[in-house]
Each structure stands twice: as C-alpha cells, then as structure tokens.
Structure 1
Amino acid sequence: MKVKMRGCLIAYLGLSLSLTGCWNSRELNELAIVSGIGIDQGTKPGEYKVTFQVVNPSATATSQGANNGASAITIYTSNDHTVFGALRKTSKQASRQLFFAHTQLLVLGESIAKGGISGVLDIFERSHELRLNTAVLISRDTSAASILKVFTPQESIPSIGLSKKIQNTSNVWGENQRVDVFELINKMTGEGGFTVSGLRMIGNVEAGKKKSNLEQSEAETIITMGGQAVFKKGKLETWIDGPEARGTDWILNKIIETNVDIDAGEQKKAVAVNVLLSRTEVKVELREGFPVFHVNVSEEGNINETKSSVDLSKNEEIIKLEEAMEKLTKAEIEQAFQAAQQTGVDYLNFGNELKRTHPNAWRTVENEWDQIFAKGTLDLKVEAYIRGTGMRLAPFMSPEK
C-alpha cells in the first residue's frame, strides 16, 4: 500500500513539474489601466495622434489622492502611422504597459471622422486587447485629446462619466444614442449612412484639465452631448441637432423615454408629457421605381406638468392633448426625414429595410439608392395615448371641487 502511495506521489510531482503557467501573465501592479482612448489626425500626413486616459489607482482607491493633490488620471499621447504603433510607442512615456480590459470610451476627433474612420476601427476588431463593447463618440468643434483631458463633475474618471452621460441621455431624452465599436462596425458594413453621437466642450480646455475645475459649484469647463454626426461611406458629412436628431431616433425606433412640450388650446408648450413607451414600424416599397416609406409610430406617456387651465378630468380635453402630441411627433419626424433627403444620405435605415424585405427590388436600385432615396415619399402615421395625469386633475390655479 505504501509503495502504491509513493508511486502516486512521484507521478503527481512529475506531472506538476511538466505543467506551465500563463506565459504572458502580468501582475495588476505592472499595468496601466486605460479608461479612454482618443484618436485625432496626427501632426504629419497619414499619422494618427492617439491619446490614452490612464487611471491613477492610488488617487482613486482612497481619499489619499485628494489629500496629496494627485490626479485621478494621467494622459499619454503618441503619434504613429497606425493606432497599434502609437499604443506601443507610449512605452517611451509610461512605466507600465497599457491595459484595455476596462476601457469605457473611444472618442474620434472631428478631423479624423471627416477623413474616414474605417481604418481606425480595424485594430478594435482584430486585436484581442481592445474591447468591442467600448462606447464611441465624436468630438465636435474640438479634438478628441481635448475631450479626454477635461475633468468631469460627479465622476473622478472622466471617461466613465462620459460613458454614463451618453447612456443617461439616451434613456431619458432621446436625441442621442449609445453606439459601441461592434455596432459601429456593423453600421459601416450596411447600406446607406449612419449616425454617431457627438460631444462638445463648453469652456476652455486649459481650465478644464486642472483639478480646480471641480473645486467650485459650477465647473468652468464642461463636456456636453453635441448632436449626432452623420456618416456616409465611413466619412463625416454633417451634423444634426434637436428635433432632427430626435426625429431620427423616432424613425429608428430608438426612443426609450423622452419629454414633449405640447400646446393646450391657445397656450403654447404648456403641457409636459413624459413619453414612457414608443414603438416604430417601418415598411418600404417601390412604386413605379420610387420608394414609399411607411412609418407607423405608437407612443404612450404621462402628463408630468401643466401650465394650462385645461381640466384634465374631461376626456375630450385628453383627446385634444393626444392630438397635439401626435402633431408634435409628426413634425419632428418629418423634419428629420427632410434633413436626410437634403443631405442625400440614408441614415434612417430605409435602404437596409428594403434590402431585407424585398431583396429583388433592392437590386434594381442599390447602385443609385442615394439619389432615389432623396425622391422618396413619407407615409407617416402617429398614434399617441396619454396614460395618466399624475396626482391631480384640476388645474393648479383652480380650486378643486
């Protein structure tokens, strides 16, 4: 028995000696955790200027960083003809190897977007180091590097704050939508154009990159959402804002929640309706060689505020408000549709819908789709329903009976 046990022990030891560990394993204290990446045009033709926002663990783990004045982030910037080359070249500045498992944000500069972003995204799909679920935003009227340098209120890591900001406004306002790298690559391989949400800087970058930007009740420099960038064949064509942006998301069935201020009789923008549910169905057909876009929207919401004297206990008044809600939604969708036709870019996904449902018809128009799309007609129907009126029926200034 002892001989058998001794033999098993020897075999076990021999087996353990033959096993190897992870040959490329790295300790956490040897890594620089990248929270955000920014890509701009380089200083030389054909070069990228790549900015990395790196987390400073000692300043974020405890309150020690705040006491000793340490910044929660460090910025590294490198220029190279490839993104990967710039990544590796950063080793000349950083004492730790860049680590991308927790990267929250990719900001593409307006300059690089105008020249085309297809080459920039190749590394994200090809490399195992980079994440496909990283949120993508376009810097507007400023560089991606400037965006990443600004300290943001509420979040110690700016990239995390910006990633949460796009998700938050997407959930409750509807003029912007979160797009990650994987979705963006799929959009680029589809038919027609597409949109990506933008970022704007209000204030001065020099003031924004100082911690003192956060040491006051109102930050001197802030980053805000800045419309949607319209792309055609991977290149930035134009920007859409306000009703055009929200109307676009209505057509694309991307509205989660939003608010509409509707008229109540002669009183303009007097009632605030919180849209809680929105569904859009799209069908495309060709009639005598020209497209007809059938868009049906159904929406539901609650009245959250009113400045009007309308008595919400009366069903006929609710019906009038629903009609006003339908009118406003129609106006924004029509405005978005007209903007797309004037641009000559089908970023409303109509071409993909025609290709999916009528592939034979699509083949007859795909080579001239942008021109044909611009001559199409919109068949729009909107149905609105007001679920509730809140805790009160009678107008605030009128005595309740």
Structure 2
Amino acid sequence: MNVIKKLISIMLIIGICIPLSGCWNYRGLDTLSVFTGIAIDRNEENNNYKLTIEFIDFSETSKKEPSKSQLVEVEGRTIFEAIRNAKRKLAKKLYMGDIKVVIISNQIARKEGINSILDFFARDAEMRETIIPVLSQEKTAKEVLMSNGVDNKIVSEELEKIIRSGWKTTASSKGVNICKTFDILHGKDEIPLVLPAVRCKNNKEKKIVELNGTAIFKGDKLKGYLSPEETYTYLLATNEINRGIITVPLNDSQDKIVLELEKNKTKMSYSYNENRLKIFLDMSSVAKVSEVNFDIDLSKRETIEEFKSAAKLDSLQRLESLINKGKKELNCDLLGVGTMIHKSDPELWYKLREEWDYYIQTMEVEIRHEFVITNTGLTK
C-alpha cells in the first residue's frame, strides 16, 4: 500500500511540474510592439481622441546601438478604440504592459476632466499600476513625445525617471501612479489631485522635455499650476518631503545663502469656534549651510541667528503666498484640510462640507516654524 501511495505521489508531482517547466504565454520581443508612452489630445474637427503612441523598435537593436523609439498617431471615439486602431498601422501584436507615462492635454484636463481618460488605464488587465499620469503645458500633449531625451532616446522612459528621481532630489514636482490617482478621484476625502506638469525647452538646438512643477485639480478638472518653487513649498507644508535646497535672500541686498534641508516635520491641526475655522501649521526644520555668496564670519553666533531669522521669514512668506494662491486662484483645498477634519471629527466635517468652499476662503492660517542650523560647512 505504501509503495502505491509513493508511486501516486511521484506521478502527481511529475504531472504538476510539467506545465510549470516553461512560460505558457511566451512571446518574443520581435513579435511585439511595446508601448512605452501615450499622449492624449482631441481632434477638433471630429472630436475624436487623438493618441500619439511611443513604442520601442527592436529591429535594429544591438550592443552598440541601444533601443530606439518610434511614434504612431491614431484616433478613436474612445481611448480603447483609438488604441485598437493602432493595429491597422502596426503589424506586430500590441503590448501595453510596459507603459511608463500617460501625457494628457491641458485643454482636455481643464474643459472635460481626466476621469473618463484614466478609466481605461485603471481598468485594463494588461496595464501596470505604476503608470504615471502627466499634464502637458504645451499646446498639445503630442509635443512632449516629439521632444528629445538627454540621457535616454526613449522619451517616455526618460520622463518617468526624471519624475521619480526629481521628487527625492529637487522636490520640484510630485509623481502619483494611476492607481493612487484613481483612488483620489473616486475617494470621499477632500484631497486635491496633484500631478506632475511637463513642458518642452530648447537645449542645443533641440527640444527636450523638462519637469515644470505640478498641476492642481479640483475634482477631475485642472484648476492651475504650481511652479517648481511653489511645489517645493507645498510638499513641505503637506509633510511629503524632508530634503531639498533653500535659497534665502538676506535683507534687500543681493546677498544670498543656500541651505540644504536635512530633516523636516510638518504637523497640521485646527480649531473651530463660532463658525470660524483656524488652521495651525507647525514646522520643524533642520538644515546646514551649503553656500554663501558673500564674505561673512560663520563662526559668530549672531551670524547663525541672522541666517535662521532670514530662513524663517522666507519660509513664512512662501507659505503665505502658497495658501493665498490656493484660496484665490485655484479655489481648492490645497493643503487637504478637509481630510484632516474628516479623520479627526467626522461629525464636524459633515457639518462643514456643505459650505466647504466658504470655509476654505475664510479660514485663518497660523504658521509656527522652528528652524535649526546644525552645520556651517566651514572652509579652511
């Protein structure tokens, strides 16, 4: 009996291993058109979606010559229809599992919203959740894919790397994947959608793609943009970064110091009394001196105190400017105050949300900033 059981077990193991010994849906790269990026515009004549698709051409790939990309333009009444129509122009099988970015026309985002566009990318099984939606600041989204990469000949891949690395180094933009974007658009919290904004710049007689701050949404419609400097302040205020460079002017002169932020913690709280909403931003920053463009004795305590006072004043002015822009120009809950209140006091939130625009416009914001300089980087 034991021998029979062993034989059955061995046969079952062999039977299970056979289908696992190879890739059941193997497809060679030479049989695929691998999409890396899609730019989405409108055809004003027939109102169809007009897609510009970047795909990798593996036909001439070698050790000396890296992969190159090509562009194909297609149209359709829906995003899915337009992508399927690409098969009329491409002989190989379409593969969308390697798309890095989806670049959206600012005109579509402002007039129509982006929810219907992103629905296909969030729903399709072949798409990855790591796709990054991007807003084009050019007249069309197509112009971004028609530009040149500096480090990479595939524009979509270069743009994705710039966004992911830029958030950590320059903190001048913010990358949000397609899954998170869809959650924000369909969530109940008053979190504004913030996506990276890009433009084209001339560089040695060529146009290259450049990250240029962030696009701010109210619901799924574009309200406006934050510059790279404003985006940095926004990320500090919302406690999303703790690194970066701060250039601080001293008095009204040309003298400037550059501080490198080593640590930052921002905590937001509120009070509500007699129909008045007040927000408190408590910031704690630690930085070191990285550059000074004038002669000054950094060994003196009063010098460091002067630097700290200048840094705090500059921070206060930038934060006040950002908050005012959120109220007046963008008319949205830029800092996510509604989400904070909803989490801490749902009953109060249900009371305020019916007139939330009014409270955003009238709320008072008090900024309290503790700033510490730990290292002056003294030179010999």
TM-score computed with the length of structure 1 as normaliser: 0.84
In structure 2, do the counterparts of structure 1 residues 60 and 391 end up closer, same or farther at CA, with 3 Å as the change threshold?
farther
1:164 aligned residue (161, 165, 171):
161
For residues 199-210 of structure 1, what are the structure 2 equivalents within 5 Å?
199-203=198-202
Q: Which residue is 2:325 aligned to?
A: 339
Q: Which residue is 1:191 aligned to?
A: 190
Q: Which residue is 1:75 aligned to?
A: 71
Question: Is the contact made by 1:42 and 1:80 (CA closer than 8 Å) also made in structure 2?
Answer: no
Question: Is the contact made by 2:332 and 2:357 (CA closer than 8 Å) also made in structure 1?
Answer: yes
1:227 and 2:210 aligned: no
Q: CA offset at residue 47 of structure 1? A: 2.5
SS class of match (1:142):
coil
Q: CA offset at residue 220 of structure 1? A: 2.1
Question: Is the contact made by 2:259 and 2:287 (CA closer than 8 Å) also made in structure 1?
Answer: yes
Q: How far apart are the structure 1 equivalents of 2:80 and 2:25?
A: 19
In structure 2, do the counterparts of structure 1 residues 269 and 292 end up closer, same or farther at CA, with 3 Å as the change threshold?
farther
Q: CA offset at residue 80 of structure 1? A: 1.1
Q: CA offset at residue 42 of structure 1? A: 3.2
Q: CA offset at residue 43 of structure 1? A: 4.0
1:379 aligned residue (342, 366, 369):
366
Deviations 1:211-245 (A, max 9, x none): xxxxxx82521221223212112011222225433
The residue type paired with residue 304 of structure 1 is S
Q: Which residue is 1:209 aligned to?
A: none
Q: Which residue is 1:107 aligned to?
A: 103
In structure 2, do the counterparts of structure 1 residues 244 and 264 end up closer, same or farther at CA, with 3 Å as the change threshold?
closer
2:143 aligned residue (141, 146, 170):
146
Question: Is the contact made by 1:38 and 1:106 (CA closer than 8 Å) also made in structure 2?
Answer: yes
Q: How far apart are the structure 2 equivalents of 1:222 and 1:270?
A: 30
1:88 aligned residue (84, 88, 94):
84
Question: Is the contact made by 2:148 and 2:209 (CA closer than 8 Å) also made in structure 1?
Answer: no
The residue type paired with residue 181 of structure 1 is I
Deviations 1:345-397 (A, max 9, x none): 112211111111111100001122122111101011111111212242xxxxx
1:388 and 2:375 aligned: yes
Q: Which residue is 1:297 aligned to?
A: 283
After superposition, the CA RMSD in angstroms is 2.9
Q: How far apart are the structure 1 equivalents of 2:273 and 2:228?
A: 32
1:253 and 2:233 aligned: no
Question: Is the contact made by 2:236 and 2:242 (CA closer than 8 Å) also made in structure 1?
Answer: no
Structure 2 unaligned regions, length at least 5: none
Q: CA offset at residue 149 of structure 1? A: 1.8
In structure 2, do the counterparts of structure 1 residues 240 and 265 end up closer, same or farther at CA, with 3 Å as the change threshold?
closer
Q: CA offset at residue 289 of structure 1? A: 2.0
Q: CA offset at residue 60 of structure 1? A: 4.7
Q: CA offset at residue 46 of structure 1? A: 4.9
Q: How far apart are the structure 2 equivalents of 1:45 and 1:290?
A: 50
In structure 2, do the counterparts of structure 1 residues 15 and 184 end up closer, same or farther at CA, with 3 Å as the change threshold?
closer
Q: How far apart are the structure 1 equivalents of 2:167 and 2:364?
A: 29
Question: Is the contact made by 2:96 and 2:126 (CA closer than 8 Å) also made in structure 1?
Answer: yes
Q: Percent identity at matched positions?
A: 21
SS class of match (2:339):
helix
Q: Which residue is 1:358 aligned to?
A: 345
Q: How far apart are the structure 2 equivalents of 1:281 and 1:98?
A: 47
Question: Is the contact made by 1:286 and 1:361 (CA closer than 8 Å) also made in structure 2?
Answer: no
In structure 2, do the counterparts of structure 1 residues 64 and 173 end up closer, same or farther at CA, with 3 Å as the change threshold?
closer
Q: Which residue is 1:315 aligned to?
A: 301
Structure 1 unaligned regions, length at least 5: 66-70, 204-216, 393-399
Q: Which residue is 1:48 aligned to?
A: 49
Q: Which residue is 1:176 aligned to?
A: 173
* Segments of 4+ moved more than 6 angstroms: 18-23
Q: How far apart are the structure 2 equivalents of 1:316 and 1:105?
A: 49
TM-score computed with the length of structure 2 as normaliser: 0.88
The residue type paired with residue 373 of structure 1 is I
Deviations 1:57-77 (A, max 9, x none): 244542246xxxxx8111122
